[in-house]
Chains A and B, each alone.
Chain A
Amino acid sequence: MIEVQNITKRYGHHTAIDRVTFSVAKGEVLAFLGPNGAGKTTTMRILTCFMPATEGTVRVAGFDCADQPIEVKRRIGYLPETPPVYQELTVTEYLTFVGRLRGMGGRNLTSALDQSIGRLELGSVRHRLIGNLSRGYRQRVGLAQALLHDPPVLILDEPTIGLDPKQIIEIRELIKSLAGSHSVILSTHILPEATAVCQRVVIISAGRIVAEDSPEQLSARLRQSEKISLTLKTPSAACEAKLHEIPGILNIFPGEGTGTFLIECALGRDLRDEIARVAVSNHWGLLELRTVSMTLEDVFLRLTRHEDGLPQQVDGAAAIPREDAQAAQEAAP
């Protein structure tokens, strides 16, 4: 549905994005992650035909952004970082204006209006001036605007910013419900959001894509060791020494709270049953034993940490370049 081929955007000598390539299939939800200034908004602006790329091509629903921008714009629902609302209009007036700009009219527009107002629960404020609405409502009006013409492609720049926790969950559910029928690109700083709603994640740093995969695959790929958290009721000084006797354990760190240890084991080995046996036979009072998986936060930080302005490469199984990483993973037992 969206094909981005080698796009580069330069502002004078500054390269905002550098040879970015990715694609989004029909019905897929893709998260676009990156630190501030990584080039997320620039990429989204190019995708929505707001600005042209210096090099490279973007095709949305089969139309080229450079040659047929109007056709592309017709098929995109875009929510920029700041909800693009006119404060002097009421919610209904605003959405009517948006619909007319997109060539809708008559019964078609009325039903689309009712549907998007219903979807975002704006019914109670539909006749109020947008200028008098709270940040959360404005954000929802912005989303209603993006969804109004039921576009096949949705580009959402931080859609849940400014919403309360209940609304965040509702909007996430809404985005999830759009998957399958719509292609969605979602930029976010809230990493659990990406894990919650997206099938695939693109991490961009300093204008380059540093990783692209599902959140689970990414954390699996970047994991260098298995980590196990162990909590004991009556830890003794001999605990660490005893645990070290178990083959495969690399390191033991004190965890958060008393009696908690973070045990690092060799990659690919699950030592939980052996640790449990040792703990029980020594009467340490086993309270908790669980594997600690790498969160998307860890992945993100690892990939976007900078040294000398370049994204840090992480060991042999680094995500850069992606093809290599994939090959390494496939080769691994």
Chain B
Amino acid sequence: MTPVQAVIAKELRGYFVSPIVYVVGTVFLLIFGFLSYLYVVFAGAQAIQLMQMQGGPAQINLNDLVFRNLFASMRFVLLIILPILTMRLFAEERKLRTFEFLMTSPIGIHEIVIGKFVSILLIYLGLLGITGLVPTVLMLFSDFDWNPILTGYLGMALLGALFLAVGLFASALTENQIVAAFVGFGILLTFWLISGLGALLGDTAAGRIISYVSFMEHYDRLVRGLIDTSDLVYFCSGLILMLFLTHRVVESTRWK
């Protein structure tokens, strides 16, 4: 087992003995399930209306009525929930004075950062996997196109990974977990809200830059079923940038 794998194993163990994963995971799955239910009921109501108007069986599009709405709503849920999952990663090490131990172990800072990130990413992907039950069950009762759903899941995975990296960065800034969660939440909310500013500025250079920086349009394209290289580049470069910044913050604590 390499040192990175050791860090991953230890973090996973730490998550599963603490209540945080169970609480946050339950809330996440409940919200996902509840939203799915709401959109399905809403789609059903629309189908009934259509049937009454047309007087025959109506064809409704589950992709548009259920999944696009569901994935769009999940942005906000992830934004609130993921910083709570990541808040302990570095803050707790500092609080419990194990940070010094990690930093004096013969392991590079990048290995610590990657180990911690991968551990929480695995947990997130596990939760995301469980939500796959919703489209699987719906498939039994209706007909829809799987491709936009798969790209939607890709979008949720990439968006979640980016959010987790932001949360990890926030956790490295402080030894207070609550502060870490709020800082992470604040950064993510800012990147959400600037998309509105981008829309306001319209098709100007500043508007285009701001819209590009916000994760909204990149995620929306994936949810609509479009895989654009520029969106993948956006998520990957954002992820790498956040991990790099985390590395710098952790490194800088040595100088303080």
Contacts and interface: CB of A to CB of B under 8 A. Distances in A.
A82 B1 contact: no
B95 to A, nearest CB: 11
B4 to A, nearest CB: 10
B254 A100 contact: no
B96 A87 contact: yes
Interface in A40-73: 45, 48-52, 70-71, 73
A70 B17 contact: no
A97 B100 CA distance: 15
B108 interface: yes
Contact of B104 (A48, A71, A82, A105): A48
B101 to A, nearest CB: 3
A82 B14 contact: no
A94 to B, nearest CB: 9
Contacts of A71: 106
Contact of A73 (B10, B13, B106): B106
Nearest to A96: B6
B254 A102 contact: no
A133 B196 CA distance: 53
B13 A89 contact: yes
A84 B101 contact: yes
Contacts of B106: 70-71, 73-74, 101-103
Nearest to B3: A101
A319 interface: no
A86 B11 CA distance: 10
Contacts of B7: 101
Nearest to B115: A101
B1 A100 contact: yes
B97 A88 contact: no
Contacts of A97: 6, 9-10
B105 A73 contact: yes
Given A70-B106, A88-B18, A101-B107, A80 B1 contact: no
B1 A105 contact: yes
B94 to A, nearest CB: 11
Given A51-B254, A51-B255, A93-B13, A84 B107 contact: no
- How many of chain A's residues touch chain B, expressed as a range? 20 to 34
B255 A103 contact: no
Contacts of A84: 96-98, 100-101
A100 B3 CA distance: 6
B201 interface: no
Contact of B254 (A50, A78, A86): A50
Interface in B1-54: 1-3, 5-7, 9-10, 13-14, 17-18
Interface string B239-254: 0000000000000001
B104 A78 contact: yes
A232 B5 CA distance: 72
Contact of A86 (B3, B10, B103, B105): B10
A88 B14 contact: yes
A81 B99 CA distance: 13
B9 to A, nearest CB: 7
Interface string B217-256: 0000000000000000000000000000000000000111
Nearest to B105: A101
B104 A73 contact: yes
Interface string A84-116: 111111000100011011110100000000000
A80 B256 CA distance: 17
A81 B100 CA distance: 10
A275 to B, nearest CB: 55
Contact of A50 (B5, B14, B17, B104): B104
Given A88-B13, A88-B18, A105-B1, A52 B255 contact: yes
Contacts of B18: 88
A80 B97 contact: yes
A203 interface: no
Contacts of B97: 80-82, 84
Given A50-B254, A70-B108, A88-B18, A80 B13 contact: no
CB-CB nearest 10 A-B residue pairs: A84-B101, A100-B6, A82-B97, A73-B106, A74-B106, A48-B104, A84-B98, A101-B105, A88-B17, A97-B10
Interface of B: 1-3, 5-7, 9-10, 13-14, 17-18, 96-98, 100-108, 254-256
Interface of A: 11, 45, 48-52, 70-71, 73-74, 76, 78, 80-82, 84-89, 93, 97-98, 100-103, 105, 145
